[in-house]
Amino acid sequence: MSPNEMLAIGMIAVLFTLLLIGLPVAVAIAASAFVFGYAGFGPALFNLLPSRIYGVVTNYTFLAIPLFVFMGVMLEKSRLAEELIDVVGHLFGRIAGGMGVAIILVGVLLGAATGIVGATIVTLGLLTLPPLLRRGYPKFLATGMICASGTLGQIIPPSLVLILLAEILGESVGTMFAAAMVPGLALAGVYILAILAVAAWRPALMPPIPAEERAALPTRVLLRKVVVVLGPPVGLVFAVLGSIIGGIAAPTEAASMGALGALVFVALSGRLTRDLLWQVARSTLLISAMVFFILIMAQVFGLAFRGLGGEHLVERMFEWVPGGVNGALLFMMLLVFVLGFFLEWIEITYIALPLFLPFFANAGVDLVWLGVLICVNLQTSFLTPPFGWSLFFLKGVAPKEVTTLDIYKGAIPFIGLQFVALALVFLFPGLATWLPEAIGW
């Protein structure tokens, strides 16, 4: 092994050490990359950087990120979730397990409308966990449904994960959105079928909404609220995603219309205030700045790692894995799953994945299918104890009687269901590739 390759290994080790001790992600990436890159090939590193950074800050597609973030934060802070849960909950509240079905469907809608996993889980936890516990749902079952529903925003378009993956994979954003649509909805369907099956087997675990509570909202009023509450956000999501997937608008153009549509929707609802607009603008700035800072620092890391011969190390590592390309793919899925315990999705997407993708591209693997597999896998790691981020989000807002162990127990069945979905996408690539091919992407 050459001295430069030893430096590449040291750079990876130092990066993970800095992350584990709590250093901010972008700072850890920059520190490890600059130190080891300079040690490997000196000042030449700085000569190559400007063009790489310029490529990030002038990338037209990346303009969609702050626009989608604005759209999501605006809808999230406008109490959209509260109304959705009330309406959808009453729609399905007559059947055993109906509230569970409603939570999954609201997770799909919020995932498509906001794409912010933490905000979705916190909102669902605050609004639905106390009523579920009052109605007799076991603590582990209620928390598991909320965590699983909240993580759907990782794969349901317009997920930021898909936008960044499109850039890394060299695919269009529309292709990735179309590819993730069927697997994302299929995963939600798997959740719903499992909830209904458990409710049919043990109705007492998931009782329907009491008749007197349903009577407080007559059918005519409920139907009117369905149109008023569900119509605008669903129409906005379909307009944004449909225009991208259908090739009518570029992702940035569609995102700008989505941001404007969210602003108009909140204004028409009478909730647009100066304070709300300030909160949304501030949150959008903070989230977007964090994403772009990491993206820029990732260029430094990628440049240094490749310059030190890291790509050849990765190729040799996969050659040691038995089972050929499928064995290497399973190994990478396991590695991404484990990394999800410790790292945020953006670090995994923009630091770890570029190290592995050249091997699979050279092996002829369909990168669109691979990207969807990675998305479903990242969802699984978000749910897995003891480090799943979704579990931490819910614990922060759960009532005192709900313990960490309750949340861990609740997540385990849904992790199993996510592995089922991951296996389905692995065994039947057409789930991910059918829609892009059907619309000619």
pLDDT band of residue 437 (cuts 50, 70, 90) is confident
pLDDT at res. 45: 67
Most confident of 80-94, 292-306, 337-351: 292-306
Q: Which tens digits make up the pLDDT trace of 311-367?
A: 666 666 666 777 778 888 888 888 888 777 666 677 677 777 877 788 888 888 888
Of 168 and 190, more confident: 190
Q: Tell me what the mean pLDDT of segment 104-113 comes to.
A: 79
Confidence of residue 216 (pLDDT cuts 50, 70, 90): low
Mean pLDDT across 136-164: 84
Q: What pLDDT score was predicted for residue 119?
A: 65
Window from 25-29, 79-83, 290-294 with minimum mean pLDDT: 79-83
Residue 1: its pLDDT value, please? 63
Most confident listed range (56-60, 61-65, 356-360): 356-360
What 3 state SS string does the chain have? CCHHHHHHHHHHHHHHHHHHCCCCHHHHHHHHHHHHHHHHHCCHHHHHHHHHHHHHHCCHHHHHHHHHHHHHHHHHHCCHHHHHHHHHHHHHCCCCCHHHHHHHHHHHHHHHHCCCHHHHHHHHHHHHHHHHHHCCCCHHHHHHHHHHHHHHHHCCCCCHHHHHHHHHHCCCHHHHHHHHHHHHHHHHHHHHHHHHHHHHHCHHHCCCCCHHHHHCCCHHHHHHHHHHHHHHHHHHHHHHHHHHHCCCCCHHHHHHHHHHHHHHHHHHCCCCCHHHHHHHHHHHHHHHHHHHHHHHHHHHHHHHHHHCCHHHHHHHHHHHCCCHHHHHHHHHHHHHHHHHHHCCHHHHHHHHHHHHHHHHHHCCCCHHHHHHHHHHHHHHHHHCCCCCHHHHHHHCCCCCCCCHHHHHHHHHHHHHHHHHHHHHHHHCCHHHHHHHHHCCC
Q: What is the pTM of this model?
A: 0.78
Identify the pLDDT of residue 194: 92
pLDDT of residue 81: 64
Q: Over 80: is that where the pLDDT of 210 sits?
A: no
- Mean of the pLDDT values across residues 73-88? 72
**Residue 428 above 80 pLDDT?**
yes
Rounded mean pLDDT of 118-131? 75
Domain ranges of the chain: 3-438
pLDDT at 181 over 80: yes
Band (pLDDT 50/70/90 cuts) for residue 435 is: confident
Mind listing the pLDDT tens digit for each residue in 21-39?
767 767 887 888 888 888 8
Quote the mean pLDDT of the chain. 80
Q: Say whether pLDDT at 369 is over 80.
A: yes
Lowest mean pLDDT among 53-62, 197-206, 413-422: 53-62
- For the cut 90, the answer to whether the pLDDT of residue 191 exceeds it is yes
Q: Percentage of the chain surpassing pLDDT 90?
A: 6
Query: How confident is the model at residue 343, as a pLDDT?
Result: 64
Tell me, what's the pLDDT at 314?
63
Is a pLDDT exceeding 70 seen at residue 213? no
Across the range 86-110, mean pLDDT stands at 80
